[in-house]
Chain A
């Protein structure tokens, strides 16, 4: 049984018109590039270069530390300036490799690579890990781990997450419109690992051009379909997406594979294609640079490691005074203290807001309207959970399924009393998770 959406959710202003029709533009960084060793979930990569060394584009500068880890590659050619802690998007310093760009973009000569079809499935997955591919939608989970499931025959659906439900973001949309054939090839490569699976491009009904492009590109593929979903936030959440595509529900203690599914983001599938077809590592990504405060919002193809502050200049500078910078979308993105932080593998957007709703509204008392209950895609009682969190009632918080929260922000968005529901629930969740309580 397949649905085309899920219960709950919200319809925030999309605000995608800023960059919807802006083709992806190549961006060449001017300043130094900074590569944090932790751009993914799992063990931080280990630097294997020293200051003064010359590196080429595509060269490994930090190697994977163990299985749930990926290497980091240089995205330009140049000289290693330093290996030291640098500020990152999260607001805390992380060990980083700093490269001085020589503007030559000299590529590491490609190894004589075998065509991917001739590789064993295990070697295909290994090549994806070697290319440093992680989930580029925001979580940054290493892609090879997702693909290396215990029993590949149990996977029945490979979903490409084309929903891009966060307001403002258009990087995936541009990819779908401009390079649908990469997505089809990437999906074909993933499907080669799962003989009994069908491939699904799950896409919201508001993205008509992308639907057409994908339908045309995948028309001759018998194992692929384009599934049109209702436009609603958070449609792109993994659990909601699996439900909309297959009717199966998973909870926080399950993996998509438990529902016979594998879910990958648009840019990730492109990266998998580049990795398998050409042995090319993940060194660039599409970043939507947008917001009311900017003169010329744009979609850029950016070398990883580029400073966010450069992208502001590239987008024509500020038109009005910015109040808030967000890395990612406005619903789940991280607000930035400082723009002098690098673009990493998971940076889908830089959002420059000219007004900040959070500062504009003061929270007031809950009126028990139940809007948060209607909006919660996880069927939780956010108002109650936030109350329990604020009073440190751990046991009751857990018994009311507080740990199932996605932190999608829908409850805070709809709350007429402007309560910081998501924030309270998140704080409690993180505190419990840190102590190993699920």
Chain B
């Protein structure tokens, strides 16, 4: 036989899922919340997403081109980062803010640490916290044409009543993509259905967060109170989309439960006793940092090695 055949180690077949396929599904899952954001806040919300996504993709491309590394923008992970970051901006922030956050997220948080899969903290969250610290005024100015009052979370902190229904639907003030619990849940259900995420992280975060609020929230078990707390601020988006980020969460099953519980506990702590309204973001970031340790202490026993 003159023709040379392919020879390789087994297995000789591969599954259908690819990195870019996963990222595209995550983008699809973010769309309900993103589209609702545009519907709720107007076209300016869309411009934010456009600017931030373009900034993220361009940053990754430019860095890789200059560092003479394979260009990986085709995996769509920079798009996910940009979209998530834009969705956690207030709509009236200047448009360059998203670009600044995107450049920081991709360049410093992702590329400097080795690119996809190597970053220690979630780029979108780190970008957001970078903006919160550097441009606090812009990042906490939630006054816009549609809503002039305080955000639901601010109102809650001041002890005012908030309509739980509007929190679930999302027709309130706040960050672009964080207001509608329903839209975020729709995306989360999609990710669960196609197996991109599993319930270990979100379920344990929600369980611990709820439990701590019931125990220490001074409201007992009050459904309205709980719905308000669960659906306000960036909690939904963070628990479903940020906490479940592959790279920065443990790969061990027990580790994922522990990590979720940690996020739930920290989020509750910051919500009950902290002053910053973005406590959830810091909770996830802190848990990100503990991921390597969690992974180390939750290595599963191999099959047949359990006692």
Contact = CB atoms under 8 A, between A and B. Distances in A.
B117 A404 contact: no
A146 to B, nearest CB: 19
B11 interface: yes
Interface stretch (A182-190, A202-210, A322-330): A322-330
A254 to B, nearest CB: 7
B18 A416 contact: yes
Interface string B253-290: 10010000000000000000000000000000000000
A301 interface: no
Contacts of B246: 367-370
A428 B1 CA distance: 33
A384 interface: yes
B305 to A, nearest CB: 5
Interface string B222-259: 00000000000000000000000011010111001000
Nearest to B7: A335
B19 interface: yes
A116 interface: no
Task: Name which of A369, A414, A422 has the most chain B CB atoms within 10 A of its CB.
Answer: A369
Range, interface on chain B = 35 or more
Contacts of B17: 371, 414, 416
B303 A378 contact: yes
B13 A331 contact: yes
Contacts of A167: 13
Contact of B302 (A322, A351, A361, A379): A379
B72 interface: yes
Interface in B5-58: 5-15, 17-19, 21-22
Given A383-B251, A417-B19, A401 B305 contact: yes
B33 to A, nearest CB: 22
Contacts of A377: 303
Interface string A206-219: 00000000000000
Given A251-B305, A373-B253, A404-B303, A356 B12 contact: yes
Interface in B293-307: 299-306
A432 to B, nearest CB: 15
Nearest to A331: B11
A91 to B, nearest CB: 8
Interface in A316-367: 322-326, 330-340, 351, 353, 356-361, 364-367
B8 A404 contact: no
Contacts of B10: 326, 330-335, 407, 409, 422
Contacts of A370: 246, 251, 256
Contact of B5 (A336, A358, A367, A412): A336
Contacts of A331: 10-13
Contacts of B304: 239, 249-252, 254, 404
B11 A381 contact: no
A323 B12 CA distance: 11
Contacts of A250: 304
A364 B72 contact: yes
A430 to B, nearest CB: 11
A380 interface: yes
Interface string A371-414: 10110011111011000000000000000110010010100111
Interface of A: 6, 10, 12-13, 91, 167, 239, 243, 249-252, 254, 322-326, 330-340, 351, 353, 356-361, 364-371, 373-374, 377-381, 383-384, 400-401, 404, 407, 409, 412-418, 420, 422-423, 426
